[in-house]
């Protein structure tokens, strides 16, 4: 389902090679592929339609210059348009001229509001600010408990009141912040449906009571076509200033980001990339655009790799690789580094060419776990000198790791191949080696 759009377009365009200009006729098939990609990514049907029309208007008449193929040209146009539509990257919160700054957080049930509130508090806290979390969800069972526990984890106070209405809690919290010198008040609210009149009135009342400097709408990245309806009604009622998209650590393509931007025109300010409280990132339009289009995003991968790899370790490893002294211990370490970067399918999808694997789904993460188990069942000596692993050792390792002798054989063979390949990499960079390794897994 998630074939590489670039490749599809290349094949679509093969037949119009040699024509000098893009015309409505010769880009029709290409645009159909683009539309398909957008719909698979959950971009709203109407938004996709409008987007394609815009791209078409921009593309038609463009000269096809010899240095790039028509496919590349149209990809560039689409990509640029999309990045433009997604807006700029700005992870900022409007500051109150006079503290405290008040941030109101709203959204559907289960979208990740409470978690985001804690993440934002942690982020501000690490920057030296003095946030206050406010538990204004009086509906969901144990919502107050949840926020209190999260607050404790990050050492940020939580304001709560039992058996009190949300509006009153919110109002009192501002007073409390003033008295206790907290400079940012983050108000968590109950999840609600946009069509639940009573609940929408509640949050409107909270809003008009506390007059937030920043209102944020939280949306799940896995949301489908309905995202536009929800985002629009919340906007009509709350005039929020920005959007937070959560759960982007999965493999959803996040097309809702484009739909919502198109409908309400507000910036996406933060993205959630995990359940832990440090899993908050600024929003980068170029990355989401690549993701929606299903195109490799080498930039992100490289950045991620750089973040995660300790520079010194990397150098040492590179030396070892060059001298082919790479052992199973190093291999294991690498494996864990790769796992740290995120789900394997996600890491792989960031490498151009890799996302044309028969759907990300076929990348079996269990393999990693199995390989890890096998290596862990080896003795120190065996890890350093795999050549000593004879038949009986193989049987023992298979038993110990709950795998089969064939599994062990396969891994040893792959490892040997990899060592050979690494020898050939005369002055290959670590990154290239890393890529080689992923192919061999």
Partner 1 sequence: MGIFESIAKFSLGLSKTRTALIQRVQAIVAGKSKIDSELLEELEHVLLEADVGVDMTTLLLERLRERVKREGYEHVQSLLTYIKEEIAKILEHDVLHMQEPAFSRIDQKPYVIMVVGVNGVGKTTTIGKLAYRYKQSGYKVVIGAGDTFRAAANEQLEIWARRAGVEIVQQKQGSDPAAVAYDALSSALAKDASVVIIDTAGRLHTKAPLMEELKKIKRVLGKRLPGAPHEVLLVLDATTGQNGLHQVKYFHDAVNVTGIVLTKLDGTAKGGIVLAITHQQSIPVKYVGIGEGIDDLQPFDRTIFIEALFEGMRQSA
Ligand X SMILES: Nc1nc2c(ncn2[C@@H]2O[C@H](COP(=O)(O)OP(=O)(O)OP(=O)(O)O)[C@@H](O)[C@H]2O)c(=O)[nH]1
Q: How far is the CB of 186 from Mg ion (least distance, A)?
A: 12
As a whole number of angstroms, the distance between CA 393 and CA 154 comes to 48
Nearer to partner 1 among residue 273 and residue 397 (C-beta): 273
Residue 273 interacting entry, from Mg ion, partner 1, ligand X, none, C-beta within 5 to 8 Å by type: ligand X
Nearer to partner 1 among residue 248 and residue 398 (C-beta): 248
Residue with tokens 């950045």: 303
Q: Is 224 in the site for partner 1 (CB under 8 A)?
A: yes
Q: Is 223 in the site for partner 1 (CB under 8 A)?
A: yes
Q: Angle at CA 227, nearest 5°, toward 225 and 233?
A: 130
Q: Check residue 236 and report its DSSP letter.
A: H
Q: Is 399 in the site for partner 1 (CB under 8 A)?
A: no
The verdict on whether omega for the bond into residue 289 sits within 30 degrees of 0, i.e. cis, is no
Which stretch, 160-168, 325-333, 342-350, 379-387, contacts partner 1 (CB under 8 A)?
342-350
Residues in touch with ligand X (CB under 6 A)? 107, 109-115, 137, 140, 143, 190-191, 193, 246-247, 249, 272-275, 279
- Binding residue for partner 1 (CB under 8 A) from 87, 343, 353, 428? 343
As a whole number of angstroms, the distance between CA 411 and CA 381 comes to 17
Q: Is 120 in the site for partner 1 (CB under 8 A)?
A: no
Site for partner 1 in 188-207 (CB under 8 A): 193-195
The closest alpha carbon to 186, from 163, 233, 218, belongs to 218
Q: Is 291 in the site for partner 1 (CB under 8 A)?
A: no
Cβ atoms within 10 A of the Cβ of 38, count?
27
Q: Rounded to 5 degrees, what are φ and ψ at 270?
A: -135, 155
Residue 368 interacting entry, from ligand X, Mg ion, partner 1, none, C-beta within 5 to 8 Å by type: partner 1
What is the pairing mode between strands 268-272 and 280-282?
Answer: antiparallel
Q: Rounded to 5 degrees, what are φ and ψ at 213?
A: -80, -20
Q: How far is the CB of 132 from partner 1 (least distance, A)?
A: 18
As a whole number of angstroms, the distance between CA 256 and CA 259 comes to 5
Q: How far is the CB of 280 from ligand X (least distance, A)?
A: 8
As a whole number of angstroms, the distance between CA 306 and CA 388 comes to 35
Residue 20 interacting entry, from Mg ion, partner 1, ligand X, none, C-beta within 5 to 8 Å by type: none
Nearer to ligand X among residue 277 and residue 398 (C-beta): 277
Distances (CA, A) of 349 to 292, 342, 378: 12, 11, 31
Residue 145 interacting entry, from Mg ion, partner 1, ligand X, none, C-beta within 5 to 8 Å by type: partner 1
Cβ atoms within 10 A of the Cβ of 265, count?
10
- Binding residue for partner 1 (CB under 8 A) from 56, 160, 189, 345? 345
Q: Is 220 in the site for partner 1 (CB under 8 A)?
A: yes
Distances (CA, A) of 66 to 20, 55, 72: 9, 21, 11
Q: Check residue 217 and report its DSSP letter.
A: E
Cα 189 to chain centroid distance, Å, stands at 24
Specify the 3-state DSSP secondary structure of 3. coil
Q: How far is the CB of 192 from ligand X (least distance, A)?
A: 8
Distances (CA, A) of 299 to 281, 287, 335: 16, 8, 21
Which stretch, 40-48, 75-83, 309-317, 397-405, contacts partner 1 (CB under 8 A)?
40-48
Cβ atoms within 10 A of the Cβ of 378, count?
22
Residues in touch with Mg ion (CB under 5 A)? 113-114
Q: How far is the CB of 296 from partner 1 (least distance, A)?
A: 17
Q: Is 357 in the site for partner 1 (CB under 8 A)?
A: no
As a whole number of angstroms, the distance between CA 404 and CA 73 comes to 50
Q: Angle at CA 258, nearest 5°, toward 245 and 120?
A: 20
Nearer to ligand X among residue 275 and residue 333 (C-beta): 275
Q: Is 302 in the site for partner 1 (CB under 8 A)?
A: no
Cβ atoms within 10 A of the Cβ of 77, count?
18
Nearer to ligand X among residue 229 and residue 414 (C-beta): 229
**Rg of the Cα atoms in the chain:** 26
Q: How far is the CB of 357 from partner 1 (least distance, A)?
A: 14
**Assigned token pair, 361:** 């789904």
Q: Up-side HSE of residue 296: CA atoms within 13 Å toward CB?
A: 16
Residue whose CB is nearest to Mg ion in the complex, by number: 114
Residue 334 interacting entry, from ligand X, partner 1, Mg ion, none, C-beta within 5 to 8 Å by type: none
Residue whose CB is nearest to ligand X in the complex, by number: 191
Which stretch, 19-27, 82-90, 124-132, 244-252, contacts partner 1 (CB under 8 A)?
244-252
Residue 42 interacting entry, from partner 1, ligand X, Mg ion, none, C-beta within 5 to 8 Å by type: partner 1
Binding site for partner 1 (CB under 8 A): 1, 36, 39-42, 44-46, 108-112, 139-143, 145-150, 153, 193-195, 220, 222-227, 229-230, 247, 249-253, 255-256, 275, 343-346, 361, 365-366, 368-369
């Amino acid at each position: 389902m998630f074939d590489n759009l670039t490749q599809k377009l290349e094949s679509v365009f093969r037949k119009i090679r040699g024509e000098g200009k893009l015309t409505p006729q010769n880009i029709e098939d290409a645009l159909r592929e683009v539309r398909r990609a957008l719909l698979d990514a959950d971009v709203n049907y109407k938004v996709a339609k409008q987007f394609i029309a815009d791209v078409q208007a921009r593309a038609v008449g463009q000269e096809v210059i010899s240095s790039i193929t028509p496919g590349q040209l149209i990809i560039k146009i689409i990509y640029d348009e999309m990045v433009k539509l997604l807006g700029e990257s700005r992870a900022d919160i409007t500051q109150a001229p006079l503290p405290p700054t008040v941030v109101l957080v709203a959204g559907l049930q289960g979208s990740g509001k409470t978690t985001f509130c804690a993440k934002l508090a942690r982020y501000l806290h690490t920057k030296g600010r003095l946030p206050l979390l406010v538990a204004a969800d009086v509906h969901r069972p144990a919502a107050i408990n949840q926020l209190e526990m999260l607050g404790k984890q990050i050492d940020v106070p939580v304001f709560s009141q039992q058996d009190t209405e949300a509006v009153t809690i919110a109002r009192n919290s501002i007073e409390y912040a003033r008295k206790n010198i907290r400079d940012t008040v983050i108000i968590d609210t109950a999840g609600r449906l946009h069509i639940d009149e009573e609940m929408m009135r509640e949050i409107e009342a909270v809003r008009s009571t506390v007059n937030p400097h920043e209102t944020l709408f939280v949306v799940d990245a896995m949301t489908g076509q309905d995202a536009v309806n929800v985002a629009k009604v919340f906007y009509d009622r709350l005039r929020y200033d920005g959007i937070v998209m959560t759960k982007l650590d999965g493999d959803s393509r996040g097309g809702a980001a484009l739909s919502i931007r198109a409908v309400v025109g507000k910036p996406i300010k933060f993205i959630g990339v995990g359940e832990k409280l440090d899993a908050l990132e600024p929003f980068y339009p170029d990355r989401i655009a690549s993701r929606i289009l299903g195109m490799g995003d080498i930039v992100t991968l490289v950045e991620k790799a750089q973040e995660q790899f300790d520079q010194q370790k990397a150098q040492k490893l590179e030396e070892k690789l060059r001298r082919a002294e790479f052992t199973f211990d190093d291999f294991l370490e690498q494996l864990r580094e790769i796992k740290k970067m995120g789900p394997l399918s996600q890491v792989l999808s960031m490498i151009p060419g890799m996302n044309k694997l028969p759907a990300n789904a076929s990348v079996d993460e269990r393999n990693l776990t199995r390989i890890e188990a096998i290596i862990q069942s080896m003795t120190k000596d065996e890890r350093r000198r795999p050549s000593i692993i004879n038949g009986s050792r193989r049987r023992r390792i298979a038993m110990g790791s709950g795998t089969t002798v064939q599994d062990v054989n396969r891994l040893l063979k792959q490892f040997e191949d990899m060592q050979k390949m690494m020898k050939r990499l005369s002055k290959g960079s670590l990154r290239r080696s890393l890529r080689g390794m992923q192919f061999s897994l």
